[in-house]
Amino acid sequence: MKFSLSSKLKALLLAGSCAFGAGLAVMSVPASAQSTEASAPAAAPAAEAAAPAAAPTDVAAPAVAKDPVDNPYGLDALWKGGDFVARSTLIIMAIMSMGSWYILITKFVDQLKMSGQAKDAKTKFWKAASVQAGVTSLKEGSPFRFIAETATKATDHHEGALLEQIDLNSWVTMSIQRAVDKVQSRLQDGLAFLATVGSTAPFVGLFGTVWGIYNALTAIGVAGQASIDKVAGPVGEALIMTAIGLGVAVPAVLGYNFLVRRNKTAMEDVRAFSADLHSVVLSGAMSKASGAASIKKAG
């Protein structure tokens, strides 16, 4: 009986010790979890604090500077790589362009001077006491002075066996008309060159283009390569010829039309002056002739 009680007591003690150990194990697990949970929030602010500190270290990469690449195609390459025909075409178009601009500028300046001379003729000539005084009041080289001098000379030199067969009115009219025609011819100097350049410059440039493309295709055929780098240069340089031809022709055409329109305005002033001058000179000549006739009769 004692043996059974002692064995039961040992069994109870063993079960109690096992239960006590299990309780300790259960109590130790929450403590470790709490410590882990407590350490996690503390680590998050530390990570957040470290993130801004690391942000300024990100520096934008500097832009890589590219070296400028020289254009291997252009006027310089066209001149150096062109043959005798291509260079001659460029020289011809350069001469045509310079001549057009020279004529355009000089004729425009002449028209401005003529406009001022027309104003002087209206204000000075018609206020003079006589035709001769009006002639001297005009500037040297003025077309209005040239017409007035021609008219006065026509009345003074209406002599001779042949000229006496023409009446004074017709003779003075023809003399003034010749002077007006000379002034008009002087105004039209250079306009034919502008018209020629305007009509032929595009075709000269087109000739240079065709010649350049012909040479390019010949070189490509000899080399046996038709890649874009082999075609772009020669064909592009050839097309520059067309652009140059248009650049020469367009100013010439516009300048021609501009000068022709201004010449019409200038000639209207010249014709009005010559018509009034014809009446004044003819009336003065007729009065002189009648005075001379009356003196002869009185004599």
Per-residue pLDDT tens digits for 14-24: 555 554 454 44
pTM of the predicted structure, to 2 decimals = 0.65
> Which of 41-50, 73-82, 109-118 is most confident?
109-118
Confidence of residue 112 (pLDDT cuts 50, 70, 90): very high
Residue 190 has pLDDT above 60, yes or no: yes
Residue 294 has pLDDT above 50, yes or no: no
Residue 169 has a pLDDT of 80
Confidence of residue 248 (pLDDT cuts 50, 70, 90): very high
Residue 113 has pLDDT above 80, yes or no: yes
List the chain domain ranges: 75-288
Confidence of residue 257 (pLDDT cuts 50, 70, 90): very high
More confidently predicted of 96 and 172: 96
More confidently predicted of 84 and 108: 108
Q: Tokens representing 171? A: 């003779």
More confidently predicted of 36 and 188: 188
Residue 73 has pLDDT above 80, yes or no: no
Residue 102 has a pLDDT of 95
Residue 12 has pLDDT above 70, yes or no: no
> Which of 2-11, 61-70, 132-141, 173-182 is most confident?
173-182
> Which of 37-51, 125-139, 207-221 is most confident?
125-139
Residue 9 has pLDDT above 80, yes or no: no
Residue 194 has a pLDDT of 94
